[in-house]
Chains A and B, each alone.
Chain A
Amino acid sequence: MNIWLNFLIDSLAFGATFMYGSTGEIITEKGGHLNLGIPGVMCMGGAGGCLVLNMIGKSNLPGALIVILGILGAVTMAMLMGLIYSFLTVTLRANQNVTGLALTTFGAGLMKVIMSKLDATVYLVGPKQFYRWPFAGRTDSLQYLGVLFFLAVIIAVVSSWVLYKTKVGLHLRAVGENPGTADAVGINVTRYKYAASCIGSGIAGLGGFYYIIDYMASPEAYLSLEVFGWLSIALVIFALWRPHMTIIGSTVFGFLFSCSSHIANIDGITVTMAAKPLLKMLPYVFTIAVLIFTSIRNKRENQPPASLGLSYFREER
């Protein structure tokens, strides 16, 4: 197959990690909470999934069930992280930035502790063909796309629909824009904030799971996971707080990351040792460029939720 098509499909596959991460972060931010703990959440999502797979990987359960249980493990663990975050920032009104950073420190650390106890031959042995359904067994690059990839796309599209076309979405956006107003019209602000942070975290956690089990499928994958959490947060700005936009954004990010490995396959280009770090720098430089660009084109409709980062206390005087 054409190397350019390979390139694109690999970008898409890589991008799904970001798609989960930033869709989760967008949902959290729509509730007015900037969760800088998403990297930690993604790590713990991965760890949670692997933990479950480590228990059932060698069992005789049907493959589909193993995949589903793995997903549930990832979502549950990530939601627990979201719960810690929401308890601190919603109920205890703690500073969101500091809580998020602490969550990342904690999550990334705990993941390493957990993963060091797990057996990669067990959790990775899981029935690969089921992750890659329906393309399993193909020899072209389509084999790299699977259930978890499509799930990411579906979640992104459905999230957009919920946020912008349903009452629940309207309420959540109101909470993020102006919690005082939402409260005054009888929306349970605390419940929405908790739900947004926990569901957002659950989705983001799948990103970590996908990266370790499906995209990389290697025992060392977890060591390089944290940074994709940070990039997912940056991607939110690129996506203008619209989940379906993350599909495009994450493909671009995936493309930039794949560059350093794919560019050598293009005829006439030789990559020296020294150029490799520079190629790897590309996604970050690109993110910076995006940040600058979006801040220069400052449009009212493309702003973060108005109360992002602020705690809400009803009896404030």
Chain B
Amino acid sequence: MAISHDAHTVKQFDLQLANLRNLVLEMGGLVEDQIKRAIKALDEEDMTAAREVIARDRLINGMQVKIDEDCISLIALRQPVSSDLRTVMALFNTVSELERIGDGTKKVARMTIQIYDGVSSPPSARLLRDVTPMAELAAEMLHNGLDALVRLDVEKALHIIRSDDDLDQEFQSALRRLITYMMEDSRTIGHAINVIFIIKALERIGDHCKNIAEHIVYLVEGKNIQQRRNLDMSLATFAQEKQQEQQP
């Protein structure tokens, strides 16, 4: 079932939905920017920028509250059904995912401050080697997620879901590498733990992006592909169910 793009008879409803969507995208843009700023702050060892990132998280939280309120009033006043309901619910859920991604960036920024607090010596570059590619991947996933949300692009959403696997693998190998460093040189443990927190945060950001992608699939298809252990399996069942539907 594709989403109908015809206008509602009640024009105000369309306006409210569009407004809601724009707010979510605005919030998404803000969060995307946060990731970039946080990574940049880490790269450039810029404490001020990191603090700024932490401060800007309030903005994101404020937006979440505003959008939640809008969603609730839309549900209460318009009683959306079908694709409208799915849209509102998907946006509602996306917003909470975005808020958590925001929390993740905050965590990255906080770790940056901890690493470069000036008390201990700065970490060696190899410890931070995996952070930037992971951050780039996470940022790209979020960017694609927002893009998929704008276009209601299921394919792109499925692509995001799969790239989360890549990010997970990156995380696993980075973790192994960091463990190796820690075993080699116990002095690196303090920094390594901080870096682990950072990459864990990035990995979580990827998970949240995956969730956003799942919300998009739900929005468009009306099918819930969340909460399935293995992505490939869940996608296969998804396809299977569709086929069954046609041959009852």
Tell me whether A and B are bound partners: no
A interface, CB within 8 angstroms of B: none
